[in-house]
Amino acid sequence: MSTLLSNGEPEAGAVNEGAVRETCSWELRAAKVGSLDIRRALPVRDRRLIGPWCFLDRYGPLTFTEGKPMDVAPHPHTGLQTVSWLFEGEVLHRDSLGFEQVIRAGELNLMTSGRAIAHSEESPRGASGSLSGIQLWIALPDADRNGEPTFEHHPRLPVVSASGAATSVFYGAAAGERSPATSFSPALGAEIRLPAGSEAELPLDESFEHGLLLIDGDLESNGGRILGDRFYYLQPGNASIDLRSDRGCVMMLIGGAPFGEKIVMWWNFVGRSFEEIERFRKEWDRGERFGEVKGYRGSRLEAPPLKPRIPPTPAS
Ligand code: MN
């Protein structure tokens, strides 16, 4: 059983016993994706990966009456999977394989870049006017990262209802249910809903490290209050996590076996060396390798200048 700590410091009332697997948290940082305000939870300086998860952006909740709050022009990816998961609203995905797919709350868009893919993401015409969601990236293991690109849309995902919590498993496996999404390493991605006045003990895979993000409502975990503007990390070795909510809440849980491979992330590329990243960038510049996204109105994103020591903001 773990105790949730802030920045490695015990919170008031926290118990730090010998068996406790230490946990820490950090503040989400504000960034922009196009004109959309986002809050980035991963990566941070001291934590690049949680299992294979290497990127987590939170956007919304917001409302709009005109325009497209989400408008990310065609851009390339390598060596990763992108997970799009919404709580409200719609996002239209288009990619260089020819897929065009609107995603809504509770549905999964999963894009596997393999060696190379390009895509755009935007608020579709006739959108409801609300938007709230997350975008995640999963690093592909070396053995799979040069495979063929694919795209999957899963409109229905397994929901496990146990001890007061409803858990939608959108990636990997949890509580005996497995997401239909294609995965390449042991991992978990789930949305958990707790009704008002409920308590639940969620079993965890002890070999996994985990990350927890409160999306809406109030949450206490293992005796500590969980804040919506922070991201919580749990080391491997936790067999379960206690959750309690007074008013009800929605939260995200990601996890996985420690990845064990060193990755290099630059802009929207995941690779293994700077030379490789340099080549991906050149190929995108020249219109090679990634194919073309058809149907998007406007020009594609240009790769930022290559400055080895300064990783540019990803387009997500
Ligand atoms: Mn992207």
Q: How confident is the model at residue 15 (pLDDT cuts 50, 70, 90)?
A: very low
CA 84 to ligand 1 center in whole angstroms? 10
User: How far is 293 from 13, CA to CA, in rounded Å?
Assistant: 53
Residue 189 forms beta bridges with which residues? 171, 254
CA 119 to ligand 1 center in whole angstroms? 6
Instruction: Give the per-residue pLDDT at 23.
Output: 82
CA 71 to ligand 1 center in whole angstroms? 11
What pLDDT digit, counting tens, does each position of 257-315 carry?
999 999 999 999 999 999 999 999 999 999 999 999 999 999 999 999 987 666 677 77
Mean pLDDT of 92-114: 98
Say if residue 231's pLDDT is above 60: yes
Q: Are 112 and 151 in contact (CB under 8 A)?
A: yes
User: How far is 267 from 313, CA to CA, in rounded Å?
Assistant: 6
**Choice among 92-106, 155-169, 248-262 with the minimum mean pLDDT:** 155-169
Instruction: Give the per-residue pLDDT at 175.
Output: 80
CA 7 to ligand 1 center in whole angstroms? 30
Instruction: Give the per-residue pLDDT at 311.
Output: 67
User: How far is 92 from 94, CA to CA, in rounded Å?
Assistant: 7
Selected residue with higher pLDDT from 190 and 316: 190
Say if residue 8's pLDDT is above 80: no
CA 216 to ligand 1 center in whole angstroms? 25
First to last CA, the chain: 34
Instruction: Give the per-residue pLDDT at 315.
Output: 76
What pLDDT digit, counting tens, does each position of 124-142 carry?
999 999 999 999 999 999 9
Instruction: Give the per-residue pLDDT at 310.
Output: 62
Within a 10 A sphere around the Cβ of 258, how many other Cβ atoms? 15
CA 26 to ligand 1 center in whole angstroms? 24
Say if residue 6's pLDDT is above 80: no
Say if residue 5's pLDDT is above 90: no
CA 148 to ligand 1 center in whole angstroms? 17
Share of the chain above pLDDT 70, in %: 91
Largest CA distance in the chain: 58
Amino acid (1-letter code) at residue 151? F
Q: Are 242 and 2 in contact (CB under 8 A)?
A: no
Instruction: Give the per-residue pLDDT at 9.
Output: 34
CA 93 to ligand 1 center in whole angstroms? 10
What pLDDT digit, counting tens, does each position of 158-215 carry?
999 987 899 999 999 988 899 999 999 999 999 999 999 999 999 999 999 999 999 9
CA 76 to ligand 1 center in whole angstroms? 7
CA 77 to ligand 1 center in whole angstroms? 7
CA 257 to ligand 1 center in whole angstroms? 24
Instruction: Give the per-residue pLDDT at 164.
Output: 84
Mean pLDDT of 241-254: 97
CA 82 to ligand 1 center in whole angstroms? 7
CA 203 to ligand 1 center in whole angstroms? 32
Mean pLDDT of 45-49: 94
Mean pLDDT of 235-251: 96
Instruction: Give the per-residue pLDDT at 223.
Output: 87
Within a 10 A sphere around the Cβ of 185, how many other Cβ atoms? 18
CA 179 to ligand 1 center in whole angstroms? 22
Instruction: Give the per-residue pLDDT at 309.
Output: 63
CA 233 to ligand 1 center in whole angstroms? 24
CA 117 to ligand 1 center in whole angstroms? 9
Peptide bond into 43 cis (omega under 30): yes
CA 303 to ligand 1 center in whole angstroms? 13
Q: Are 293 and 274 in contact (CB under 8 A)?
A: no
Instruction: Give the per-residue pLDDT at 2.
Output: 36
